[in-house]
Structure 1
Amino acid sequence: MRTTCSRDSPIVYLSALLSLIAYSSPSTYAASYQSSTTSAIELGTAGAGNAADTTNLANIAVNPAITAAFSYPAIAIAGIFVKSEKDIHGEYYSGGDPDTLDNSGIGVNYVVPSGYFAFPINHKWSFGLATFSNYNVRNNYASEYPAGILTGQRSLFTYEINPNIAVKLTDKLYFGIGVSAIYGNYQLATNYGAQNPNNPSQIYQDFNGSGLGFRYGIGGLYKINKHHQFGLSYRTATEIETEGDFTTLAKNNDLEFQDTTTLSMAVPSELTLSGFHQLDPRLAIQYSLAWYGWDNLDYISVSHPDCPANLDFNLSQGQCLIESVTAEDSWKIAFAVSYKLSDVILLRSGASTEKATESATFAIPFDKKTNFSFGLTYYASRTLSFDIGLTYARYDTTRIKDTIGLDDFDVSTEGNSTMLGLQLNYQLID
């Protein structure tokens, strides 16, 4: 009877949390391209050790080999709330007062849901499934912003479904491979701004497109012994061809162009090396070095033979939109410590630094951030545990300069994000 009740209770918790996530918006975003936040535990470690730590099922999103480390069916569900505060400050404006370039609060609060499952097929082979959001961007400038052609309201989000298979080659060496389907959505609505002094809020271009891309990932896990292990994983780059209606309006609101077009969204390749070391029964350390390849991102463009030329914005006939993006390979370094306070409480803390792009733009106004993380795990039983994670991300101040027509714009940026995550973990142990 006790066994039945013990297994019924987690099912109730799972159902409640699944219902919550089902009604949460999966449209996640941030102020710049950045690595994903896959779990509440990751929020507590700043992403350290996520290719080597086999205590967190959500790490199969990074390294599929970790799937084989679970001897019993396991499930993890997480929900992460992000509070974003990002501000733009005018430094120089050739067309008027620099203060008109000030724009506070371009960031927006949001929720990130994710779920993970591992099922051992036999003593060697295991199947896993990860669903999570990865690379995201969203900005929300004021509709009358002077540099509206470069800014406006933009939203990009991707959501990945990643089935994988893993094998325990030996007691020390695991290998995994997975294939991902990535759904992407890109929306933009730019304004004429200073290029239309009589009506700066006038919409210039509008696009809302969605598409599907695919990529694969491989990973290995090496256990020196039960206290020390290393993980190495690689995920390929891909491009998602989003398709949707593209509209261009004249300054007097006349329709200049409208038709179905495509816009390519780049998802970078990822190489992650991690270590996990249990120094004594209570104390453990973990770390990661991640590298992101942005070779497939150099500009954002939309083409259609009927798009009219616009020499003021350097658009020739057939070019609806073109924006250069200076994005070189980026990296992330993370380190974390965990301490088992008691039989039911584990504390963790971590820090990381991450460089996102080579240089910031109005569309991607931040290029480097530092994370400080804290977390706690509560072991309700040998099968059920709960996690809470908190990360404070501080973006480095950057300077952005650009030109539209005869107007020069120069701004500085500052911002931070606070991320709070909750996670439920359950293993069906005999």
Structure 2
Amino acid sequence: MTKFNKTLLAAAITLASTQTFAAGFQLNSQSATGIGRAMAGDAIIADNASVLARNPAAMALFDSKALSVGATYADVNVEINDVEYAGGLVPVGSLDDAASGKVIPNFYYISPINDKFAYGVAAFTNYGTGTDLTPLTKVEGIQTPIDLLGNTEVVTINFNASVSYRINDSLSLGLGLDIIKGTGELTRNGNVSLPDPIGAVPVNLVDVDADGWAFGGIVGLAYEVNENHRFGLSYRFSPEMKASGDIMYNPGLVAPQNFSDIEIPMADIAQFAGFHQLTDKFAVHYTAQWTQWSSFDNISVTGGHDLLDQAILKEYNWEDSWFLSIGATYDINENWTVRAGFAKDQGVVGEVSSLSIPDSDRTWYSAGLTYSFDKHHSVDFGYTLVQGEKVHVIEESAIVGPVSAYTKSGANYFALQYNYNF
């Protein structure tokens, strides 16, 4: 049982603290404008201050101070269907809604210093979700795979400070510091059936309450061919997160093992975006984003209080992933702007799959609008439907053996944002 208890622990802390993305967990909710165009061109469009989340060099495109404040409601849906083991002879059941919705706020401020320098500060969230599979542990009359099922709650906040420098009329560079705060809670418990006369015994397999801070960075460039055509490129350096707290797992139903820290290597992100104003009213834009999840090899724990000082919790076989999107923007008049986008989001799970990580390739369908009250005030609304593929998962439980299930995940994003140009 040790291997899979560790797997669940590692997955939960990864969600709580990672700054980079796995397709299965990235909320991609940094702005309402981005939600409305499937993040297409977000690293270079610079139509409001939220561009700071994607490319610090794009701050050089601002002639005056800019503020953007918003929030996204992520209605995340995770389905776990036809959970069974013993070759299908023992059905455990299904769960139609294993995830909870989250409100995800964001804040951006950009201030030009002169015609060369600008600085900005931001706070936004890359992850924030909750899954609860505990109803599947309470099926009467059978032994359920409690080592694979349970409750997870995670929250992350990314604080960013950046500067940009305009080299000439075409090229600008940017540099930023990321400070990431992650918190997470995880429980895995239930009854284990032992031979008579002992019978069912309640067991606490995993109990985690951990948080941590990490430092990363981002570099970027913006290249303007002319006022109608420009390109953006950025690279985010992701840190190794150390999360600390109360970390317990129960190896082999023998004795709980306690650790104080978890160390998590995280993947870097490269992003390229383009923007083209084709007419006075119509523009197209696109994004190609690559995440180096192949560098995410394992998660380890240190600071053991019992028999072990350190241990590798989980070996991963994740793959590099791509997020590709294309969008369009149309200015109806001086007050109204509409936009739309389409994206394909590649999953990261390779040969190793899990009930607790229902990842898959996903498709984005996005639409949004902006209403400008005047040259200073505007409000954005964005909506995205994310549809994931149905995936067959087979995961080994140390309690009941191989467990088969079908998982599917998706989301509805609703975003609202206020912008002010000074």
Range into which the TM-score falls when normalised by the shorter chain:
0.7 to 0.9
Shift of the alpha carbon at 1:320?
A: 7.2
Q: What secondary structure sits across from 2:178 in the alignment? A: strand
Name the Cα RMSD after superposition.
2.8
**Which residue in the other structure is 1:103 paired with?**
95
Inter-partner Cα distance in structure 2 for 1:418 and 1:201: 37
Q: Is the 8 A contact 1:31 1:137 kept in 2?
A: no
Inter-partner Cα distance in structure 2 for 1:294 and 1:195: 39
**Which residue in the other structure is 2:219 paired with?**
218
Question: Structure 1 length normalisation: TM-score?
Answer: 0.84
1:289 aligns with 2:288: yes
**Which residue in the other structure is 2:358 paired with?**
365
Query: For 1:72, which of 56, 64, 79 is the aligned residue?
Result: 64
Inter-partner Cα distance in structure 2 for 1:195 and 1:103: 23
1:385 aligns with 2:383: no
Q: Which amino acid aligns with 1:60?
A: L
1:174 aligns with 2:166: no
Q: What secondary structure sits across from 2:36 in the alignment? A: helix
Q: Which amino acid aligns with 1:418?
A: N
**Which residue in the other structure is 1:331 paired with?**
322
Q: Is the 8 A contact 2:162 2:177 kept in 1?
A: yes
Shift of the alpha carbon at 1:143?
A: 5.2
1:421 aligns with 2:415: yes
Shift of the alpha carbon at 1:139?
A: 2.2
**Which residue in the other structure is 1:274 paired with?**
273
Q: Is the 8 A contact 1:268 1:292 kept in 2?
A: yes
Shift of the alpha carbon at 1:404?
A: 1.8
Deviations 1:215-273 (A, max 9, x none): 11110001111111100000012121000012346999x9x336451123444211000
Shift of the alpha carbon at 1:375?
A: 0.1
User: Between the two proteins, what is the percent identity of the paired residues?
Assistant: 26
Shift of the alpha carbon at 1:369?
A: 1.1
Shift of the alpha carbon at 1:162?
A: 0.7
Which one is further off, 60-69 or 31-40? Answer: 31-40
Q: Is the 8 A contact 1:106 1:140 kept in 2?
A: yes
Question: Structure 2 length normalisation: TM-score?
Answer: 0.85
1:188 aligns with 2:180: no
Q: What secondary structure sits across from 2:58 in the alignment? A: helix
Deviations 1:163-205 (A, max 9, x none): 0000111121111101111111232111256667955874311
Shift of the alpha carbon at 1:280?
A: 0.3
Q: Which amino acid aligns with 1:215?
A: G
**Which residue in the other structure is 2:232 paired with?**
231
Deviations 1:32-81 (A, max 9, x none): 33263200001101010011112132011110011121111110001000
**Which residue in the other structure is 2:152 paired with?**
154
Cα gap change, 1:78 to 1:248, in 2 (>3 Å):
same
Shift of the alpha carbon at 1:86?
A: 1.3
Inter-partner Cα distance in structure 2 for 1:35 and 1:328: 19
**Which residue in the other structure is 2:4 paired with?**
none
Cα gap change, 1:213 to 1:250, in 2 (>3 Å):
closer
1:347 aligns with 2:338: yes
Q: What secondary structure sits across from 1:48 in the alignment? A: coil
Q: What secondary structure sits across from 2:147 in the alignment? A: coil
Q: What secondary structure sits across from 1:99 in the alignment? A: strand
Q: Is the 8 A contact 1:144 1:200 kept in 2?
A: no
Q: Is the 8 A contact 2:106 2:124 kept in 1?
A: yes
Q: What secondary structure sits across from 2:29 in the alignment? A: coil
Correspondence 1:40-79 to 2 at 5 A: 40-79=32-71
**Which residue in the other structure is 2:141 paired with?**
none
Inter-partner Cα distance in structure 1 for 2:225 and 2:22: 38
**Which residue in the other structure is 2:14 paired with?**
none
Inter-partner Cα distance in structure 2 for 1:332 and 1:107: 23
Which one is further off, 96-105 or 174-183? Answer: 96-105
Inter-partner Cα distance in structure 2 for 1:142 and 1:397: 21
Inter-partner Cα distance in structure 1 for 2:154 and 2:379: 31
Q: What secondary structure sits across from 1:68 in the alignment? A: helix
Deviations 1:141-168 (A, max 9, x none): 1255323212311233321111000011
Shift of the alpha carbon at 1:426?
A: 0.3
Inter-partner Cα distance in structure 2 for 1:201 and 1:232: 53
1:36 aligns with 2:37: no
1:395 aligns with 2:396: no
Inter-partner Cα distance in structure 1 for 2:93 and 2:315: 21
Inter-partner Cα distance in structure 2 for 1:176 and 1:302: 35
Correspondence 1:76-155 to 2 at 5 A: 76-90=68-82, 92-94=84-86, 97-135=89-127, 138-142=130-134, 144-145=136-137, 146-155=144-153
Q: What secondary structure sits across from 1:100 in the alignment? A: strand
Inter-partner Cα distance in structure 2 for 1:55 and 1:280: 17
**Which residue in the other structure is 2:9 paired with?**
none
Inter-partner Cα distance in structure 2 for 1:409 and 1:259: 28
Inter-partner Cα distance in structure 1 for 2:173 and 2:417: 26
Q: What secondary structure sits across from 2:51 in the alignment? A: helix
Deviations 1:409-429 (A, max 9, x none): 01111232101000001011x
Cα gap change, 1:238 to 1:290, in 2 (>3 Å):
same
